[in-house]
């Protein structure tokens, strides 16, 4: 995404008017993408259960997840249906398919292999979640699908995985493939991607799907990020731990 530095913790300056949550990033996307955004926005409002009242709790949220944490994650149940299939190649050159992951809970997201904005922060959340899972981690697979159409090589996803220490997750797969195959996955999971040129920022829908061992979509969450006045992305104190804990709690609920 944008060429800014991702940080965890309190920002060096107040975010002020330049602070943006993921929803505001989607508004920016609307300006540049026109009608393409309408699908994303409608999906965010209806399927993701976007809501402003922190006291509101969507039906079906796991009992282990507090209302406050569900609100932080913008967590919503989705119609139970088979997750769209795909076969792509991970950072180690191994083929990964949704069918091959049956029997495991899958935490699925979408990342830019050259991202320095929200993706490194989501990476930290995944690492935190993996630690929080403890022994249950062996039953949970973390998968990211590449959204960078210009940096699609195995070496690209391998470099990102190494730089962000995602390889510390024993069940981590950052998958990539041909542009037509990637576009098919983006479409099937309702992820909008805008990448006008090799050197331009990649803007994409940021979602985390929770898929049960039977291969069915169960929940979806919306990662968020704040930005300082200079454009550096960061998480406020406690957000990283909250997200990691929340991902682990939902993954456990989906597993059982």
Question: What is the C-alpha to C-alpha distance for residues 113 and 176, in angstroms, rounded to an integer?
Answer: 9
CATH no. for residue 187? 3.40.30.10
Sort 3 into a burial class: Cβ within 10 Å, 0-12 / 13-18 / 19+.
exposed
pLDDT of residue 19: 35
Q: How many domains does the chain have?
A: 1
Look at the alpha carbons of 14, 17, 23, 25 in this order and tell me if their dihedral is positive or negative.
Answer: negative
- Give pLDDT tens digits for 6-63: 444 444 443 333 333 343 344 334 333 443 433 343 444 444 444 444 457 888 999 9
How far apart, in whole angstroms, are the C-alpha atoms of residue 64 and residue 67? 10
219 domain residue, yes or no: yes
Give the pLDDT confidence of 177-199 residue by residue, as tens digits: 999 999 999 999 999 999 988 88
Q: Phi first, then psi: what are they for 145, rounded to 5°?
A: -100, 130
| Residue 5 included in any domain | no
Q: Residue 185 sits in which domain range?
A: 12-255
The answer to whether residue 245 sits within a structural domain is yes
Helix ranges (H only) for the chain are 22-33, 35-46, 67-73, 118-133, 154-163, 179-188, 239-255
pLDDT band, residue 227 (cuts 50/70/90): low
The first and second tokens of residue 164, run together, are 């962000």
Element (H, E) at 117: none
Domain-embedded: residue 213: yes
Query: How do residues 69-87 score in pLDDT, each as one tens digit?
Result: 999 999 999 999 999 999 9
At 8, which helix (H) or strand (E)? strand 6-8
Judged on CB neighbours under 10 Å (0-12, 13-18, 19+), 143 is buried
Considering the domain boundaries, does residue 151 fall inside one? yes
Whether residue 209 is contained in a domain is answered as yes
Residue 2 lies in a domain: no
Residue 6 belongs to some domain of the structure = no
């Amino acid at each position: 995404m944008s060429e800014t530095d991702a940080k965890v913790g309190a920002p060096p300056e107040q975010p002020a008017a330049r602070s943006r949550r993921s929803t505001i990033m989607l508004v920016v996307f609307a300006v540049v993408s026109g009608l393409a955004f309408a699908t994303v926005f409608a999906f965010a409002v209806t399927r993701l259960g976007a809501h402003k009242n922190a006291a509101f709790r969507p039906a079906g949220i796991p009992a282990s997840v507090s209302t406050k944490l569900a609100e932080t994650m913008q967590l919503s149940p989705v119609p139970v249906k088979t997750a769209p299939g795909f076969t792509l190649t991970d950072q180690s050159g191994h083929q990964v398919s949704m069918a091959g992951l049956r029997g495991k809970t899958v935490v699925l997201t979408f990342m830019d292999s050259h991202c320095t904005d929200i993706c490194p922060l989501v990476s930290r959340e995944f690492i935190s979640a993996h630690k929080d899972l403890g022994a249950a981690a062996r039953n949970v697979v973390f998968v990211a699908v590449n959204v960078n159409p210009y940096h699609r090589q195995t070496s690209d996803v391998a470099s990102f995985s190494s730089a962000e220490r995602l390889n510390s997750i024993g069940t981590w797969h950052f998958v990539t493939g041909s542009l037509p195959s990637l576009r098919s996955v983006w479409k099937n999971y309702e992820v909008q991607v805008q990448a006008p040129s090799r050197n331009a920022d990649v803007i994409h829908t940021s979602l985390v799907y929770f898929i049960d061992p039977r291969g069915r979509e169960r929940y979806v969450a919306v990662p968020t990020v704040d930005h300082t006045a200079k454009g550096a992305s960061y998480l406020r104190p406690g957000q990283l731990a909250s997200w990691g804990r929340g991902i682990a709690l939902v993954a456990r609920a989906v597993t059982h």
